[in-house]
Structures are given as structure tokens and as C-alpha cells.
Structure 1
Amino acid sequence: MYSQRKNEKSSSESDDDYVPYVPIKQRKKQQMQAIEKKLGRTVATIKQEEEKKESTNDEEEVEEDPESSVGPNAHISLLDQHSELKKKAEAKKETAREKLLKEEEKILESVAEKKALMGVAELAKGIQYEDPIKTGWRPPRYIMNMPESKHEKLRKKWHILVEGDDMPPPIKSFQEMKFPKPIITALKKKGINKPSPIQVQGIPAVLSGRDMIGIAFTGSGKTLVFTLPIIMFSLEQEKRLPFMKGEGPYGLIICPSRELAKQTYEIINFYVKHLENDGYPLLRTALCMGGMAVKEQLDVIKRGVHIMVATPGRLMDMLDKKMINLDVCRYLSIDEADRMIDMGFEEDVRTIFSYFKGQRQTLLFSATMPKKIQNFARSALVKPVTVNVGRAGAANLDVIQEVENVKQEAKVVYLLESLQKTAPPVLVFAEKKQDVDAIHEYLLLKGVEAVAIHGGKDQEERSRSVDQFRQGEKDVLVATDVASKGLDFPNIQHVINYDMPEDIENYVHRIGRTGRCGKTGLATTYINKSIDESILLDLKHLLMEAKQKVPPFLSSYVSESEKYLDLGGEVGCSYCGGLGHRIADCPKLEAMQTKQAQNIGRRDYLANSSADW
């Protein structure tokens, strides 16, 4: 019995001690599970985390085939996988681009002018004109009967971009525009035989009575687009009913600088004299600008004036003192309109609008007009048409742009080398008045026939210097930006930017003094590391756009705007039009906001001071 129990016990012990055979694969699995337990994570939790990660990132989600044991995309070809990944990348780019565009739209909206560019009385009474002014001019019948596709083909050929309803047709010759013979003769004397692209579309639009925004590169003939129609309208009014003493003007042209006003006045007088010599009625033109005796200007006005060319300051003064009125004025043209609004003349323009007694035809012209200014300007116009030749703010392609890295202290000496590049006449631009005087003095000491103009000189000296340079008596004109906008000097060979302007728009205007009317010109610009990076980036992109050589010094700068190209977007700032930055980094917008903030503080201080008194 005992032996039997003993045998059972020994057999049970041997059963417990028995360890069955475990295959290697199973043993490795057990070891892995033991390690995972030690780490406090299991295969299941890892899988759960991975699935959670994939569900939060839709763009990178990849569907796995449960039947596939080789890989998730084993049944899809590499080419198909590539195209699928490309689509996802494009979608990702698009969403990033849309997000950025929305942010920029909000910024532009926050800085947009809420107050329309209209007269005070019009704003107060809610006066709005629905239809453009009617004129007696019509295009030739055979041009009107042409299909719209033919007009569009002509616009495409001349690179003319148009916006607006009921666009007047483009016309290829001055004869077909119905200008009288003396005007055609005068144009030929100036060497103008056929209209430029802006004139092809712009003159018919103005003659039709349409309000217009005209944008074209420097030297493209914008001045004739508003001067020739104003002469024809004034002639029509004089023939119907002669102007009485103290009456007028019928047409008003506003220019931002005295030099530009004087030049426009002389252009109008040139064509008016040709009409008078051919037996047409005499048209009187008045020039109203600072630096001239008011008495001289009043003598013309008292006899009755048809056309007035003015600068904002003197015009405001004369309107305020009731020396002139705009009772019969029905034509208003603002040259370099964006610069005028930018320079702080916006309130002056709004005040000038208040002196009009009826509807007017309003024209705005410039080579550089960002979208912000265009949208704002449209509030003053009735069913406006926009005629654009090339990108607003683009450099003239007839100008060869050379950029040189010159140290600040070496600039004056290097100037003599730059003057050797071409024959005279040459224009030298500097930012500061003292620099203009220093350069002028240095050139005179070196025997160079030079003259200088800037805002600190009296008008008589400025006019004399410009006339001497224009007539070829002097070889070099040294100037600040007063000579950069709109001035037309014949045969300018070379423009030298002694320093880079603080605004890329000023650079475009400066270099536009050469390469005019289809001729080729040269522009040399001195830059160095002291210049703000945003201006250098704008310059780099402007050179690239015009297919000009970009120096290595400038190539090393990379902008956020360039990175934006990877998202399939367009470079450029929607506020100022600069190509090297976006609106979020716009130095011009930042400066404007800083100025506004300073003014608010100043106004509060002045209000408190007056309250204390």
C-alpha cells in the first residue's frame, strides 16, 4: 500500500517537472512579449497609437490592404504611387496658398480707405452719377462695325489689357481719331507719326467721355492721352459759345511737381499755337504753381481760360481765395495720380473735387499704380475703364539696368567713371538735397558742365537749370526726385542713381527718364550693404522681371516672396506693388501705420493742451 502511494507520488512529481518542447519562433515571440511588458507597452497599444496618428493627418493617410502580406501598396505600380503622392502634395500647397491669400486679403481690407475719393458735398448728399459724360465724338463707322474679336486681336498684338464695360474700340492712327490737320502736322514735327499702345486705346476712351485709369511704362506717351482730348473739348466749347472774361477753366490738369506742370503747359501750348496759326479760335492756357507771381497767373484767368495746369498747393490756395472757380469745369486729369495720393495730397484732391458744380470726366494716369490705389481711385470714377500696357510698376524694357556695389565713401570718385560710359546728356539722381549740392560742386571742380535742381532752390533757378539742360547747354543734371516723375528730356543717354531710392516706385520713375519713345537707354545704380534689405529684394525681382543681369551681391538675397513661388503663387505686394516682399512684410505699409500712430498721439496731446488752456 505504502509502496503504491510512493509510486503515485513519484509519478506526479515527474509530471510536474516535465517541460514540453517549444519551437524557436514561439520562444522568440515569448521573449519579445516579456521585453514589451517590461517597457510597459504592448504591440496592441503601439498599433492603436499608429492608427490614431494616421487618422489626425488626412493628407498623409495611406490605406493598407489587409490581404496584402508584402506591403500596403504592393498592388499599385510605382508610377501610380508617384502621381498619387504628387496630387496630395499639390493639394497641400493649394491649402497653404489659400490660407496665405486670405490672411493678405484681411490685411489689405484693414488698410483700405473706407472714405470714397469724392467731394465733400457729394459724400454728404449721397450724389452718385450713373452714366459717363456724353461727347460729340464717335469713332469712324467702319471701325464701330468691326466685330469685337478684331478689336481684341489688335489689343493682344499691342499688349493692351483693358477692364470695364462698353470699351471703346482701339484706333491705329491719329487721322482715324478725327484730329484736325494742324494737330497731325504738329505731331509729325515732334516725330510722332502713329499712336503708341496706350494712345491706341486711351485716346478713343477719353474722346468718348469715359472716366479712365491709364497705366503704362515711362516714356510711353501718356501725356498726349489727356492733353489732345482736352484741347479738342475746349475747342468745341469755344466754337459753340466763346468764353467770357473770368470764365473757365473748362479743363483742369493737376501735376505733383512744378517741373511736370510746366512741361505739360508747354506741350499744350505747342498744339494750341498750331491750331491758332491755321485759323482756329485762340485757346487760353493758364499755369498755376508755386514760385511764380500770382498776378501773372490771374491776368490770364481774368480774360477767360480754357485749360489750367496746376500743382495742388497753389490751386487750393487760389480756390480758397476765390481767385478761380470750377463752375464750368467738366474735365479733370490727375497725372502721376498714385504718387499724389501717396504723397499725402489725398485730402487736397477730395477738397478740389468739392469745388466742381456738376459731373466731371476724371482721368488718372501713372506708370506705377498698385491695386490698392486703383481700387481706391475707382470710387471717384463713373463706370471707369482701365487701360494697362504692361504690369503696373514694371520697368521700361528699353532701359539696360546696371547695378554696381560701391562703398558709400567711394561713390563721388566712381561717378566720373560712370559718366564715361555714354555721351551726354546724363541725369544723376540723389535722395538728399545736400548730396545734390555736393555732387554738383564736385562735378564743376572737375570741369563737367553740370546744373542742379531740388526743392530747396527757388523756382527761377530750377526753371533756368532745366531749360539749359533741355537745350543741350549743360551736359549733366543732378537732381532729387522732383525730376523723376513725368519729365521728358530729349535724347537722355544715361541715368545714374547715386543712391538707391527708399521706394522701388521712385526707382522705376527715375530710370524711366531714359529709353523713351522706343530709344534704348542705360541706367546705373550704386548699392551697398547700408541699403534696407527689402528694397534690394524689390530691385532684384525687378531686374529678373526685365530679364536683366542680376549681380552676385544681389543674388545672395532670398525673400519670403520667392518661397511663395513654391506654393504656385505670384510674387509681389498687393499694397505697394513691390516684387521682393509680401504685404505682411511691406515697409511702406509699416511706415504709413507708424506715421498714423504718431499723428494719433500728437492729436491727443494737442487736444489736451488746448483743453488745459
Structure 2
Amino acid sequence: MQQKNETIARILEAIGIDELNEMQKASIEANEQHDNVVLLSATGSGKTLAFLLPLLFRLDPAVKTTQAMIIVPSRELAIQIDKVFRSMQTGFKVTLCYGGHKREIEENNLVQAPALIIGTPGRIKDHIRRGNITLETINTLVLDEFDKSLELGFQEEVSFIVDALRNIQHRMLTSATEAVEIPEFLGLKDPAELNFLPADGTPTIRLEVKTVQSGDKDKLETLFELLCYFGARPSIIFCNHRESVERTSEYLAEQGIVNEYYHGAMEQHERDSALCKFRNGTVNFLVTTDLAARGLDIPFIRYIIHYHLPTTEDVYTHRNGRTARMEASGTAVLILGPEEKLPAYITQVDEEIQLPANLEIPEKPKWTTFYIAAGKKDKVNKIDIVGFLSQRGDLRKEDIGLIEVKDFASFVAIRKSKASHVLHAIKGHKIKNKKVKIEIAK
């Protein structure tokens, strides 16, 4: 017990958290006492740590093959869980497997079997069929946001994977909704259920809900005025269709509002660039489909704007879950057209916003994002990038913002006023003795 407590204390210090919340403590206890656990908890409540800690305690350092698998509905969620696990500094190897990622890279990473595999159903199924995963020693299975996996039609893939994992001893399923019906093929016999969802199913009280009326069916002008009213506070604008996302983003840009858009038809490098710019403050507004409603851990999002009304209560809940996370507060705003009414499931409205006249365009961001065509697989890390930009680009540490290093690319926020000088100063210089392409991210 003492060793476990010491491990938890070390991990919490590594990831910058003071203490576990009640849900996380309950999850650890339930997983110690039961082979099958179902955890219901709201988005942003700390579910990731609630299943990673019990999983970690089941890993045996003496076993050099794969022992655990986490199946998630989206690549973004897979990446986020991987990031948390790595930040825990456990010493165990972890490998990501998801569509849009080069399969050859994953195959190379699987040759020396990781203790933990995190991935999406389709890609994991593909690796199993190709014989790339050692199945015999996998005894722990986590299905995170399983309701979304069913919603996206992954039942056949998940069934295939579960059937292939013949030696599972411990199963854990998480969901942010009670609506999910657990299929028999999962083999969850007499699971312990932990329900930490709000009693009335509504978001936590830290979330304010407001409405704003649009005089036109086309709500673009109202959206523009709303963003001017809020100012340069990080905001996500949800649309129901990809075409609407691009149209809305283009309109805002034409009005002088710097933004990025994000949806499922984009190439992976385009998604990475858009999210990095939003995370590092190069843009304060992200226009997106419901792809961004789950799995994206971006702190300090102040406003969720429902440009289109959510199609279901579940969608509404998950969109709002991007703000008011953990101890932060946030506001969800629904833009209502002339003939639109709030869905019956939206019972909490704190205020109707009255937009004043003569609004000013939000202040432009002070950061820009550089793209560097080198990453982890090129043995380039954050320290290398900071050193290069400091020595060759004449930058001080305060001129360098958030750095994200991917497999073959990196993104770094640079103070916009320094960007032209940096590009000129680093021209012709090498990183790690290698000449790489460096430019302002598109």
C-alpha cells in the first residue's frame, strides 16, 4: 500500500496535480476489487487518470511483451491519452496506433513490444490481422468513451479485437453518458459501476449557458458580432457540417478575425497544424465540426459557441465539455435564428445576450507558428528546438511559446514581432547537423 501511495504521489508531481479527485480514488479502489468496471463520468472530470493508474498497477516490469490495450474512438483521444501516460514517467513503453498515422512507423514500434498499446478500432484490427501485436500476454483492456465507438459504428471492429484477446482478465469501460448499452461480446460479467455523472445529467454549475438571437437565418453576421463582443478569448465554434465549417471560417477571416478550421476531411498534418495554432495562441478561434467535441484536451477554452444547434443532447453535453474543465469556468452560447427554438433538453439558460452596436474587432494574436520539418523520428526534441532558436534565431526564452513535437514535424509558437528576423537569421543553419525546412505554418 505504501509503495502504491508513493507511486501515485510521484506521478501527481510529474503531471502537476495536487491530489486525486473522488472519482479517481473510487476508480482505483473498484479496479483493485473487481475484474470488470464501468466508469460513468463527465467529460473533463479526469477519467484518463482514473483508468491509467489502475492499469499501471497491473503492469509487470518483468514481462517484456504487451500487457494492456486501450481502445478509443478517435485519433485525437488516443494522442491525448498517450501524452498523459508519457507525462506520468512510468518507464513502460507505449505505442500509438491510429488511422492517418503511417502504419510502417507503428509496425516498427511494435517489433519491440510495448507494455501498452493505445489505438483506434480500425487500425488495431488491421495490426492484429497482420500479426503485428503479441496478443497472448494482453490481460487488461480499457474501452474509453465506448459510447462514441458505438455511435461511430465501430462495433464490428471492437468485437473482432475482443475476440482476438483470449487472455483478458481485467476490463474497464468508460463513458460520459448513461445511454450506452453494453454488448455481450465485451464479456463484462457483473461489472462494478461507478456513476459520477451529475444527478440531472446537466453540465456542472461552473458552466454558464447563454443565448443570442440572430435576425437572419444565416447567422454569420451575428457570430461575427458575438466574437467582437467577447474579444480575444479562446473560443470553439461548432457547426454541424464540414462545408459550413469552411464557409464560416472564410467569412470570419474576411471580416478580419484570425481563426482556424478543423474537420474530419482534412489531412492529418492539416489537423495537427490547426490544433497547434489554437493551443499555442496563434489563433483564438477554432471553427469545427463535432470531431472536436471529444478527446481534445485544450486548457482555458472560455467560450463554446453553438453556431448550429446540437443534433442531440449527447452532442450538446460533449461540446460543452470542452470548457469549464476541472476547476475552470466557461460559457456555452447558442445562436438562435428567427425560427429556431431551444431543444427541450436544454433547460438551463442563464442569460440572453443583447449585442451592443459599434463593436471592435478582437485584438490580433501576438504569436505565430513555425513549422519545422523534423520531429521525434529525426531525434529532434523540444530542447534542440529551443537551443536552435535561441542561438541561431537570436530569441530569448520569453519569445518562444508552446512547442509540439510530432513524429516527423514540429510546431513552435514564436512572438510575431520576431518572426521575420528569425526566418532571416536561421536561413542556411542546421538542426542536429541536418538541414530542414522551416517556415511559418500554413
Deviations 1:397-434 (A, max 9, x none): 21101123335544111112222225421111111001
Matched, 1:185 2:21: no
User: 2:76·2:296 contact (CA, 8 Å) conserved in 1?
Assistant: yes
Q: Match for residue 334 of structure 1?
A: 143
* Residue identity opposite 1:225 in structure 2: A
User: 1:210·1:383 contact (CA, 8 Å) conserved in 2?
Assistant: no
Q: Match for residue 258 of structure 2?
A: 449
- Give the secondary-structure state (helix, strand or coil) at the position aligned to 2:334: strand
- Give the secondary-structure state (helix, strand or coil) at the position aligned to 2:253: helix
Q: Match for residue 212 of structure 1?
A: 37
User: 1:291·1:460 contact (CA, 8 Å) conserved in 2?
Assistant: no
Matched, 1:402 2:402: no
1:376: how far off?
Answer: 4.5
Distance across 2 between alignment mates of 1:385 and 1:208: 9
User: 1:205·1:212 contact (CA, 8 Å) conserved in 2?
Assistant: yes
Q: Number of paired residues?
A: 351
Among candidates 266, 269, 274, match of residue 460 of structure 1: 269
Distance across 1 between alignment mates of 2:7 and 2:32: 11
- Give the secondary-structure state (helix, strand or coil) at the position aligned to 1:369: coil
* Residue identity opposite 1:478 in structure 2: V
Q: Match for residue 45 of structure 1?
A: none
- Give the secondary-structure state (helix, strand or coil) at the position aligned to 2:346: helix
Alignment TM-score, normalising by the size of structure 1: 0.54
Distance across 2 between alignment mates of 1:530 and 1:486: 33
Q: Match for residue 82 of structure 2?
A: 265
Q: Match for residue 492 of structure 1?
A: 301
Distance across 2 between alignment mates of 1:222 and 1:507: 19
User: 1:492·1:521 contact (CA, 8 Å) conserved in 2?
Assistant: yes
Matched, 1:537 2:358: no
- Give the secondary-structure state (helix, strand or coil) at the position aligned to 1:463: helix
- Give the secondary-structure state (helix, strand or coil) at the position aligned to 2:283: coil
* Residue identity opposite 1:536 in structure 2: P
Q: Match for residue 362 of structure 2?
A: none
User: 2:245·2:288 contact (CA, 8 Å) conserved in 1?
Assistant: yes
Matched, 1:386 2:193: yes
CA shift in 2, pair 1:180/1:550, >3 Å: closer
Q: Match for residue 412 of structure 1?
A: 220
User: 2:211·2:336 contact (CA, 8 Å) conserved in 1?
Assistant: yes
Distance across 2 between alignment mates of 1:223 and 1:312: 18
CA shift in 2, pair 1:471/1:206, >3 Å: farther
Distance across 1 between alignment mates of 2:186 and 2:269: 38
- Give the secondary-structure state (helix, strand or coil) at the position aligned to 1:447: coil
Distance across 2 between alignment mates of 1:377 and 1:490: 37
CA shift in 2, pair 1:314/1:176, >3 Å: closer
Deviations 1:134-181 (A, max 9, x none): xxxxx67xxxxxxxxxxxxxxxxxxxxxxxxxxxxxxxxxx9745255
Deviations 1:61-110 (A, max 9, x none): xxxxxxxxxxxxxxxxxxxxxxxxxxxxxxxxxxxxxxxxxxxxxxxxxx
Distance across 1 between alignment mates of 2:12 and 2:68: 22
1:447: how far off?
Answer: 2.5
Deviations 1:98-130 (A, max 9, x none): xxxxxxxxxxxxxxxxxxxxxxxxxxxxxxxxx
Among candidates 549, 558, 562, match of residue 350 of structure 2: 549
User: 1:368·1:392 contact (CA, 8 Å) conserved in 2?
Assistant: no
Q: Match for residue 287 of structure 1?
A: 96
CA shift in 2, pair 1:212/1:180, >3 Å: closer
Distance across 2 between alignment mates of 1:391 and 1:342: 23
- Give the secondary-structure state (helix, strand or coil) at the position aligned to 1:491: coil
Matched, 1:231 2:56: yes
1:218: how far off?
Answer: 2.1
Alignment TM-score, normalising by the size of structure 2: 0.74
Distance across 2 between alignment mates of 1:327 and 1:530: 58
1:379: how far off?
Answer: 6.4
Distance across 1 between alignment mates of 2:159 and 2:28: 26
Matched, 1:297 2:106: yes
User: 2:217·2:337 contact (CA, 8 Å) conserved in 1?
Assistant: no
User: 1:378·1:384 contact (CA, 8 Å) conserved in 2?
Assistant: no
User: 1:396·1:512 contact (CA, 8 Å) conserved in 2?
Assistant: no
Among candidates 445, 463, 475, match of residue 284 of structure 2: 475
Q: Match for residue 512 of structure 1?
A: 321
User: 1:448·1:475 contact (CA, 8 Å) conserved in 2?
Assistant: no
Distance across 2 between alignment mates of 1:464 and 1:377: 40
* Residue identity opposite 1:346 in structure 2: Q
Moved more, 520-529 or 479-488: 520-529
Distance across 2 between alignment mates of 1:398 and 1:301: 43
Q: Match for residue 351 of structure 1?
A: 160
User: 1:481·1:510 contact (CA, 8 Å) conserved in 2?
Assistant: yes
Among candidates 61, 70, 77, match of residue 253 of structure 1: 70
CA shift in 2, pair 1:334/1:490, >3 Å: same
Distance across 2 between alignment mates of 1:289 and 1:344: 16
1:384: how far off?
Answer: 1.0
* Residue identity opposite 1:198 in structure 2: M
Q: Match for residue 92 of structure 1?
A: none
User: 2:323·2:330 contact (CA, 8 Å) conserved in 1?
Assistant: yes
CA shift in 2, pair 1:428/1:286, >3 Å: same
Q: Match for residue 221 of structure 1?
A: 46
1:513: how far off?
Answer: 0.5
Distance across 2 between alignment mates of 1:308 and 1:528: 46
Distance across 2 between alignment mates of 1:417 and 1:388: 40
- Give the secondary-structure state (helix, strand or coil) at the position aligned to 1:179: helix
User: 2:260·2:285 contact (CA, 8 Å) conserved in 1?
Assistant: yes
Among candidates 324, 330, 333, match of residue 521 of structure 1: 330
Q: Match for residue 317 of structure 1?
A: 126
Matched, 1:364 2:173: yes
Distance across 2 between alignment mates of 1:265 and 1:392: 32
1:520: how far off?
Answer: 1.0
CA shift in 2, pair 1:423/1:399, >3 Å: farther
1:200: how far off?
Answer: 2.4
CA shift in 2, pair 1:508/1:450, >3 Å: same
* Residue identity opposite 1:255 in structure 2: V
1:345: how far off?
Answer: 1.5
1:508: how far off?
Answer: 0.4
> Gapped runs of 5+ residues in structure 1?
1-138, 141-174, 276-281, 552-613
Distance across 2 between alignment mates of 1:508 and 1:202: 23
* Residue identity opposite 2:46 in structure 1: G
Deviations 1:243-294 (A, max 9, x none): 1xxx32x11111111111111111111112xx4xxxxxx3111110111111
The correspondence of residues 63-78 of structure 1 with structure 2, limited to 5 A, is none
Distance across 2 between alignment mates of 1:361 and 1:471: 38
* Residue identity opposite 2:72 in structure 1: C
1:488: how far off?
Answer: 1.5
CA shift in 2, pair 1:226/1:376, >3 Å: same
User: 1:484·1:513 contact (CA, 8 Å) conserved in 2?
Assistant: yes
